[in-house]
Structure 1
């Protein structure tokens, strides 16, 4: 059975970037037995702390997409983040907005594999974990990585988001 095209796009992006997991091996997208739509569900399925899950949240920042990779252990402080970014409106994007800018659906948005690169912020709280897990393009797919790799892969900015 062929993996979903989004999973293929994410794996291709990881391969093209030479992505590594926490052990230094190639980062590989893994399919879980069932979809995991929340950080808590992903953490349970993987047997890790919820804080080690890198939630990919897409925001509408004055009509431009903003990807925030945040630890599953907390919520994004949108008011504080908007002020620090100098944007007037920062709100969770609609499913259509997310799909248009990432090619992926909410619950499975990966940090990579989008039609165009997105401005990305990477939660500094993820640096506390030797290994973090990110979505792999669909709600059933994940891949292991590190905070440093997320920064490198996304050209992201380390940011306190909570």
Structure 2
């Protein structure tokens, strides 16, 4: 789309290339203000906070790990580390996140990164017919489903909380 932010265009292209439903991709929205938290996104969209798929990047032994988790709870990093067989999973710096995804914290999308990022998709998101994820910038969002998130990211369903 003309005038579309490069990150949003990359997310849109990656979703379509990954087999996402074109009708859902067409509903990608750029909101008037930033929605950097699940609560802010849920309020702006008029949905429950559990329907927000937070994109959280962690440092798993120097390797980026993207966890797409329900906005209704927090990631248990000990549980995630044990499931992955790594000694620890820690908070990533903004620079680490940007290097891994090309996107800023608060706007990290599940797709559209310079290279594939290992991804876990929270099974709690499967409880919702529709979930919303960030679109590459802090005020872009798009609707999707749990199954579609797993498919387009090549992610692994996981219990992360």
TM bracket (short chain): over 0.9
1:126 is aligned to 125
User: 2: distance between equivalents of 1:88 and 1:47?
Assistant: 39
TM-score (norm. length: structure 2): 0.96
Structural RMSD (CA)? 1.1
User: 2: distance between equivalents of 1:38 and 1:30?
Assistant: 16
Shift of 1:26: 4.0
After the TM superposition, which parts of structure 1 deviate over 6 Å for at least 4 consecutive aligned residues?
Answer: none
1:81 and 2:80 equivalent?
yes
Residue 161 of structure 1 aligns to a residue whose secondary structure is coil
Alignment length (residue pairs): 159
TM-score (norm. length: structure 1): 0.95
Residue 133 of structure 1 aligns to a residue whose secondary structure is strand
CA contact (8 A) 1:18 1:26 kept: no
Deviations 1:120-145 (A, max 9, x none): 00000000000000000000000000
2:91 is aligned to 92
Shift of 1:101: 0.6
1:143 is aligned to 142
User: 2: distance between equivalents of 1:132 and 1:20?
Assistant: 13
Residue 113 of structure 2 aligns to a residue whose secondary structure is coil
Residue 25 of structure 2 aligns to a residue whose secondary structure is coil
1:15 is aligned to 16
2:101 is aligned to 102
Residue 95 of structure 2 aligns to a residue whose secondary structure is helix
Deviations 1:66-96 (A, max 9, x none): 0000000000000111112111121011000
- Structure 2: gaps (5+ residues): none
Deviations 1:38-77 (A, max 9, x none): 0000000000000000000000000000000000000000
CA contact (8 A) 2:97 2:104 kept: yes
- Structure 1: gaps (5+ residues): none
